Each structure stands twice: as structure tokens, then as C-alpha cells.
Amino acid sequence: MKKREPVSHIMTKDVISVAENDKLDEVAAIFRKKSIRHLPVKKGEKITGMISRNDINRLTFGALFDNQEGADEAILQMLTIPQVMTADLRTVSSDTAIREVAEIFSTAEYHSLPVVDNGELKGIVTTTDVIKYMLDQY
């Protein structure tokens, strides 16, 4: 196993992000359309948080009950991204070792981390990326 391989080797580089003032129903549509689970939230060029598909699912009933789309839409229109996102954000740099990222995931309640160099979003790494990397090692 490569001990110091940087996270830049496994991160997603073409990152889709949303703005703090975007609507939650638009975020939900991105999750459905792109089949992704995490989106960095930006205010201008600064990353201010992360929002996940689970954050949206916790707000809605659609996954639990049939014919609840109207209720889901009403809930998503009442709240804003900053009210739902994780704002206490941890980031890593593109040269952070994959092992260090794995340690963060194993001790924190994060399932994704934005990769930021000099204040600029360079990518996103998820627990799935790390697991796939580990599997490739064996």
C-alpha cells in the first residue's frame, strides 16, 4: 500500500456546488439528476458548508409515504440552504494523504470533505472514494 499517496489521486475534480441562496428544491433535483450525495455550498467563491442528500431526506416524507410530493415541496420552500447545511466544515488540501483522510472519516461524522487549496475548491472526497482506493490495494 502506498503510504503517502495524496487525496488528489482519488478525489472528484469536477465538483458541482450550490450557492447559499439557491433553493432547496433545486438542490434535491441536483441530487436526483446527478446521482450524487454531497454538494459543497458557496457564498461567492468561499465554501461555507456542505449539504447532503441525507440532509434533504430528513426534511421530506417522499421516501416514506406515497403521494407526499406537495408536502415535500412546501417544506423545501420554507427552509434555506444555510438552515439545513453543515456549516462547521472541515476541509483537506489536495496533498493530504489518503490515510489521513481515512482517519478523519473514521473518527468524525463526515462522509465527504471538500478539497481546498489556497481558499479555492479543487475537489471533493467521500468515504466511497476511500473505500474504493483501499479495495484496489488488495
Comparing 9 with 69, the larger pLDDT belongs to: 9
In order of 32, 66, 90, the CA distances from 98 in angstroms are 28, 41, 15
Residue 29 lies inside a defined structural domain of this protein: yes
Whether pLDDT at 126 is above 90: yes
The set of residues, in sequence order, having a beta carbon less than 8 Å from that of 41 and lying 6+ positions away, is 17, 18, 19, 20, 47, 48, 49, 50, 51, 81, 82, 85
Residue 1 lies inside a defined structural domain of this protein: no
Closest CA to 38 of 112, 109, 122, 118: 112
What pLDDT is attached to residue 121? 95
Residue 113 and residue 107 in contact, taking contact as beta carbons nearer than 8 Å: no
Residue 40 lies inside a defined structural domain of this protein: yes
Residue 74 lies inside a defined structural domain of this protein: yes
- The proportion of the chain whose per-residue pLDDT surpasses 70, expressed as a percent, equals 90
Q: What is the CATH number of the domain that holds 131?
A: 3.10.580.10
Residue 15 lies inside a defined structural domain of this protein: yes
54-78 burial: b if 16+ Cβ within 10 Å, else e: ebbeebbebeeeeeeeeebeebbee
Strand partners of residue 121: 116
* Rounded CA separation 61/77 (Å): 14
Ranges 16-20, 59-63, 87-91, 130-134: which has the least confidence: 59-63
Residue 117 lies inside a defined structural domain of this protein: yes
Report the domain count for the chain. 1
pLDDT (tens digit per residue) in 20-74: 999 999 999 999 999 999 999 999 999 999 999 999 988 876 544 444 555 567 7
What pLDDT is attached to residue 64? 43
Q: What is the mean pLDDT of the chain?
A: 89
What pLDDT is attached to residue 110? 85
Residue 78 lies inside a defined structural domain of this protein: yes
* Rounded CA separation 132/11 (Å): 11
**Cell numbers at 136, concatenated:** 484496489
Residue 2 lies inside a defined structural domain of this protein: no
H or E element: which one contains 46?
strand 46-52
What pLDDT is attached to residue 10? 97
Mean pLDDT value of segment 8-14: 96
Residue range of the domain that includes 47: 7-136
